[in-house]
Structure 1
Amino acid sequence: MRTVAIVLAGGSGSRMKSSVKKQYMLIGDKPVLYYSLRVFQDSSVIDEIILVCGREEVENCRAEIVEKYDFTKVSRIIPGGKERYHSVYEGLKAAVDCDYVMIHDGARPFVDEQMLERIWDALPSARACTVGMPVKDTIKRSDPEGFVEETLPREKLWLIQTPQAFEYRLIRKLHEDAAGGACLGQQITDDAMLVECLGKIRVKLIEGSYQNIKITTPDDLLLAQIILGQKKGQKKG
Structure 2
Amino acid sequence: MEKKYCTAIVLAAGQGRRMGTEVHKQYLLLGGRPVLYYSLHTFEASPLIDEIILVTGEGEEQYCKEEIVEKYGISKVKAILAGGAERYHSVWNGLCRMQKDGYVFVHDGARPFVDKDMIARAYEAVCAGKACVVGMPVKDTIKIADENGFVKETPKREELWMVQTPQVFDSELLRGAYAMLMRQAHIEVTDDAMVVEQMLNHPIQFVYGSYENIKITTPEDLEVAEVFAQKYFS
- TM-score band w.r.t. shorter chain: over 0.9
Aligned alpha-carbon RMSD (Å):
1.0
Say which SS state the counterpart of residue 201 (structure 1) adopts.
Answer: coil
SS at match of 1:161: strand
Q: In the alignment, residue 198 of structure 2 is paired with which amino acid?
A: C
Partner of residue 105, structure 1: 108
State, as a whole percentage, how many aligned pairs show the same letter: 50
The aligned counterpart of 2:232 is: 231
Q: Which runs of 4+ in 1 moved over 3 A?
A: none
**Structure 2 alignment gaps of length 5 or more:** none
SS at 2:117 equivalent? helix
Residue equivalent to 1:37: 40
What's the secondary structure of 1:55's corresponding residue? coil
Q: Secondary structure, in 3 states, of the residue corresponding to 1:216?
A: coil
1:218 and 1:72 mapped to 2: Cα distance?
A: 31
* 1:98 positional shift: 2.3
What is the match of residue 2 of structure 1?
Answer: 5
Runs of at least 5 residues in structure 1 that lack an aligned partner in the other structure: none
1:14 alignment counterpart: 17
| In structure 1, C-alpha distance between the alignment counterparts of 2:144 and 2:61, rounded to whole Å | 41
Take 1:24 and 1:186, find their aligned partners in 2: how far apart are those partners? 29
Question: Structure 2-normalised TM-score?
Answer: 0.96
- SS of the aligned residue for 2:101 comes to coil
Residues 206-221 of structure 1 correspond to what in structure 2 (within 5 A)?
Answer: 206-221=207-222
Measure the CA separation in 1 of the matches of 2:172 and 2:12.
23
- Does the residue aligned with 1:159 lie in a helix, a strand or coil? strand
Secondary structure of 1:160's partner? strand
Q: CA deviation at 1:72?
A: 0.3
| TM-score for the superposition, normalised by structure 1 | 0.95
Residue number among 69, 74, 79 corresponding to 1:76 in the alignment: 79
The reply to whether residue 24 of structure 1 matches residue 49 of structure 2 is: no
The 1:223/1:156 distance shift into structure 2, 3 A limit, reads: same
